[in-house]
Amino acid sequence: MNTDQDVATTSKSSSSGFKARAILFVGMLALALIGMGLTMSSDKGEKSWEFWVFLLTVYGSVSIYWAWKRARRKGLPVWGMIRAQVLHWLSVLVVFGILVLFERTEIINRESASNVALLVLALACFQAGVHFDWVFALLGLVLALMVISIGYLEQYVVWIVMVPVIIAAVWVFFQMRKRNSAD
């Protein structure tokens, strides 16, 4: 039997969990914007490779942590979920390694390799959202829009497009959260 105190405690933990997820989501978007800036910089992504691998590590770690936490909270098998997550993110790291090999052997140039890495990361995030957590699907869509922006728009126009996209993504995040908490 739930008491008023149990309901208040559940509401508080749900609210603090939402705040942490919101902060992480905004932080992951900010890191993606930094990566986009590195990719578009005048030296054409000299440091962007290292940053995309760092970003992959951050995104994978957050995704694995959220899956672990959710599995424990729902009483589901933890190691199966973690194994699926680790294999998912390691496969992206393997693709990054292939891209580095292609770039180093001059099959593709650094800027193209960096853009493909961002596209692969967008797909990985979207797939993580489909299979593990909807927040990553939203993140994957924003990353895909970044790739399109980098490919088709001039350097300054990208920021005019991406700022509203980021604002819209944050708004959608809060709307989805509101709808999920109402269920």
Q: Mind listing the pLDDT tens digit for each residue in 14-54?
A: 566 677 777 788 888 888 878 777 766 656 555 677 788 88
Q: Into how many domains does the chain fold?
A: 1
**What dihedral do alpha carbons 50, 52, 57, 63 form, nearest 10°?**
170
How sure is the predictor about 91, in pLDDT bands with cuts at 50, 70 and 90? very high
Could you list the residue range(s) of the whole structural domain that residue 149 is in? 4-182
Percent of the chain exceeding pLDDT 70 equals: 75
Closest CA to 148 of 138, 158, 135: 158
